[in-house]
Chain A
Amino acid sequence: MISEQLLRGLREHDPRGIARAISLVEENDPLADEILSSIDDSLVDQAMVLGITGPPGAGKSTLTDRIISKYRSQGSRVGVIAVDPSSPISGGAILGDRIRMMGHALDKDVVVRSMATRGRLGGLCAAAGAAVRILAGSGCSVIIIETVGVGQSEMDIIRLADITALVLAPGLGDDIQAMKAGLLEVADILIVNKADCAGAETLAMDMECIAREGGNKKNTTQVCMTTASEGKGIDELLAAIETVDASHRESGERRTRREKAYDLEVLDWAIEMIKPSIIEKIENLGHARKGAPRLLASKLLGQNNLG
């Protein structure tokens, strides 16, 4: 039986087995339930999920590559979920984050998986959440989710993380202004990358200010400067991650976030599950497009015994 084989593969850290398992949940295959229920929850609980977000080109993947190296040198097994947007027109996607992490390609204890948003609103969160579980179940104690901080769906999946780092870089100017408001709310760590470039100091000072201002809500926000391309500042970054993690554990923030993420995932899966049947119903209705769509929707849901 294929799932038997798969489950064994997962347990034995077989790259192919892990990769297959993620595909099956991503494709909403019937086997997904079996795979996910086989996963040891305690491993999922123990793993640290780190979200890395920020504007395009800020250096998220390069930074992820360096963070991987550090955790590997400490002996941790690392999983990465790198999310890129799907083309709204064709549905296809180019998944290019991996390019910067190819140095780890032959390391069996680094599992990198690229995922496209596939235009799913919550669905991405559901699939990525399942991928996190699979990676944790296959022994990854650190799991990094890289995603571009632009669209809502990309932002949503950051809520899966225990700790979120927002990567900024000098020269991205206006983008950063626009992002400030929303992103700073979710960021535990502000990383000013490309510290080797002009303007990094100023940006870091700006960020320090903002981090202090936001103090009323939580004053744990840390600012780090890195030069990912040269591997500089990574030790300090890891120390900051550790600090945040420790304080989250102590304050109960970690548990709160996990619970919220859990609920969110349940909701997303529920939507994912009913969506196909509703789509089918709409397609088969053969109805005249009359009346308020809302009325038809509640009628459909009523039939679904969900209204």
Chain B
Amino acid sequence: MAEQKKTYRVLIGKPGLDGHDRGAKFIARALRDAGFEVVYTGIRRTPEEIAAAAVQEDVSAVGLSLLSGAHMSLFPAVVKALKNSGAGDIPVLGGGVIPDEDIALLKEAGINAVYTPGTPVDKIIGAFRAACETQKSGRN
């Protein structure tokens, strides 16, 4: 029987110039295999482009991956761009090579959660699911 479970839509983006997309692609596939519809933006996008795509695709969460060390400016820039497009309710999750002291600052800047290398993928999928549920229920 066809499952009637909710299908969540999420967007995985790579802001900035970093071309290392191994992690982003892995997460995208893992999310797909967990039943998500995943819009992938490809590498080298501006925060504004990512936010615009997230709005048009009506996703319930945005995941960002970055390894170049530019996360402190680029992650908050995506949050801001979403707010500017009236989509401040879409949660942003981040991942990459990110020192602990930055994680606290990123959370203050509105990033929902930050994952560093070695985090089990199930935990990340769970976080996306929870973020999507919250976003969807806040809608109506």
Do chains A and B make direct contact within the complex (CB under 8 angstroms)? Answer: yes
Q: What is the interface of chain A, defined by CB distance below 8 A to chain B?
A: 2, 14-16, 18-20, 22-23, 86-87, 89-96, 98-99, 102, 105-106, 111-114, 116, 118-119, 276, 279, 282-283
Interface residue? B7 (CB, 8 A): yes
Minimum distance in angstroms from A110 CB to a CB of chain B = 9
In-complex Cβ contact of A92 among B37, B87, B140 (8 A): B37
Interface string of B40-62 (1 = CB under 8 A from A): 11100100110011011110000
Nearest-CB residue, chain A, relative to B87: A16
In-complex Cβ contact of B40 among A91, A94, A279 (8 A): A94
Please name 11 further chain A to chain B contacts, defined as beta carbons within 8 Å, in addition to the given A92-B36, A95-B40, A102-B45, sorted by A numbering: A16-B85, A16-B86, A90-B32, A92-B31, A93-B37, A95-B57, A98-B41, A102-B49, A106-B48, A106-B49, A114-B57
A95 to B36, CA, bound (A): 10
**Contacts of B38 on A, CB cut-off 8 Å?**
92-95
In-complex Cβ contact of A91 among B3, B41, B49, B87 (8 A): B3
In-complex Cβ contact of A98 among B9, B39, B55 (8 A): B39
In the complex, the answer to whether A19 meets B49 with C-beta atoms within 8 Å is: no
**Contacts of B53 on A, CB cut-off 8 Å?**
98, 102, 105, 112
**Contacts of B55 on A, CB cut-off 8 Å?**
15-16, 19
In the complex, the answer to whether B35 meets A99 with C-beta atoms within 8 Å is: no
Q: What is the interface of chain B, defined by CB distance below 8 A to chain A?
A: 1-5, 7, 9, 28-29, 31-42, 45, 48-49, 52-53, 55-58, 85-87, 140
In the complex, the answer to whether B57 meets A94 with C-beta atoms within 8 Å is: no
Query: Given A105-B49, A119-B2, A87 and B56 touching (CB < 8 A)?
Result: no
**Contacts of B48 on A, CB cut-off 8 Å?**
105-106
A288 to B49, CA, bound (A): 55
Q: What are 29 A-B interface contacts by the 8 Å CB criterion?
A: A15-B55, A15-B56, A16-B85, A18-B56, A20-B58, A23-B58, A86-B37, A87-B33, A90-B35, A91-B3, A91-B35, A92-B33, A92-B35, A92-B38, A93-B38, A95-B57, A96-B42, A98-B39, A98-B53, A99-B42, A102-B41, A105-B48, A105-B49, A105-B52, A105-B53, A106-B48, A112-B53, A276-B4, A279-B1
A116 to B37, CA, bound (A): 7
Nearest-CB residue, chain A, relative to B36: A92
A58 to B55, CA, bound (A): 28
Minimum distance in angstroms from A21 CB to a CB of chain B = 9
In-complex Cβ contact of B32 among A87, A102, A114, A279 (8 A): A87
In the complex, the answer to whether B56 meets A113 with C-beta atoms within 8 Å is: yes
A283 to B4, CA, bound (A): 13
Minimum distance in angstroms from B10 CB to a CB of chain A = 10
**Contacts of B45 on A, CB cut-off 8 Å?**
102, 105
A98 to B28, CA, bound (A): 14
A279 to B33, CA, bound (A): 25
**Contacts of B39 on A, CB cut-off 8 Å?**
95, 98, 114
In the complex, the answer to whether B40 meets A15 with C-beta atoms within 8 Å is: no
Minimum distance in angstroms from B46 CB to a CB of chain A = 8
A113 to B41, CA, bound (A): 13
